[in-house]
Amino acid sequence: MTIIWTILIGFIVGLVARAVMPGKDKAGVVLTTVLGVAGALIGSLMGRAFGLYAAGEPVGLFLSVLGAVVVLALYRRIVPKASVGRA
């Protein structure tokens, strides 16, 4: 059940991050979910680095979205625009 919640929350965080960050993405459901889960992981690491969270403590929505925005910005830098949205 934990994996299902992780996927669901990751999808929601990914949607919020894509809505917050300007620009057009042709990302599907899977990429949006991966973006959200990776963002939550990055947010958790940032929170621990700043002393906001202890190990094993769940990360908040704000830092999850912030982490997802960071991941999305890196993704846009790394993946060429010509290949975005093409399978």
Confidence (pLDDT) at 24:
75
User: Which pTM was predicted?
Assistant: 0.78
Scanning the chain, the segments in alpha helix (DSSP H) are 2-20, 29-49, 61-78
Confidence (pLDDT) at 21:
85
pLDDT tens sequence across 16-61? 988 888 877 777 888 889 998 998 888 888 888 888 888 777 778 8
- Gap between the Cα atoms of 87 and 6, Å rounded: 25
Q: Report the candidate in 56, 75, 60, 8 with the shortest Cα–Cα distance to residue 36.
A: 8
SS3 category, 59: coil
Written as one letter, the residue type at 83 is S
- Give the domain ranges of the chain: 12-18+28-78
